[in-house]
Structure 1
Amino acid sequence: VLLDGLVLPREETSMTWMGPHTLYPYLFHFVFLTWHDKAVEQYPPPIVNSTAGHVLVLAFHVVLIYFVTAFFSSSAWRRPFDWLLKPQWLDPLMQTVQASLVPQKAVEVPDGGGY
């Protein structure tokens, strides 16, 4: 609970708009990993041996992941997949199915005298 009070923001941040759309980065992160692997094959990164170099690489990845998450959460990326992940075209079908269901009467079970 203490960690939540210290870490969770109390006001809107630059990432707040992404919150409702985090399913998209979760589902499509393998797309980014494929792009990343192809880029690393084409342009191999230099070998880093220093601590400062490793810190810079980690800092770069934090910024990179922010932008990747923003890209996959963007409306431009979500729009082509909304039909699948928000299937509103199923609503009429589901209403028809629900209307055809008839509530069943409860069956009275005789008391067996206890167990």
Structure 2
Amino acid sequence: MDLTGKWKYKEDYGYGVAEGELFLKQEGNDLSGRIIFTDKLEGEEGYMLQEFLVGRLEEHKVKLDAEEFDIIHSEHEIEYELDSWFGILVDADTIVGVSKDGQGIEGKFTFTREKN
């Protein structure tokens, strides 16, 4: 199973919703890439950022950890904690799971592979 490619990203973490795109590269069981998304907290202006990722694929389990981030657009100053994603490969084109950030906030996400 090769996860290399572009994936749609959607997550609900209770305080808001994040949506965007995940770009993955797989070499053996090692994963790397970046995720670019808009984060919309309830009652606040959204902001856009990207996180640079490393991870692993072991059988049907996917783990991704952000190592750094860049704020692409924000109308106000934000403090941001890096994310980790723990997912299960449901099929060749879908990963579902839970995320957790440095503050301990958890969410439920879906990555869906985009077809060329």
TM-score by length of 1: 0.19
Structure with greater strand share of residues: 2
Question: Which protein has the larger Cα radius of gyration, Structure 1 or Structure 2?
Answer: 1
Greater helix fraction, Structure 1 or Structure 2: 1
Task: Calculate the TM-score normalised by the size of structure 2.
Answer: 0.19
- Higher relative contact order at CA 8 Å, sep ≥6: structure 1 or structure 2? 1
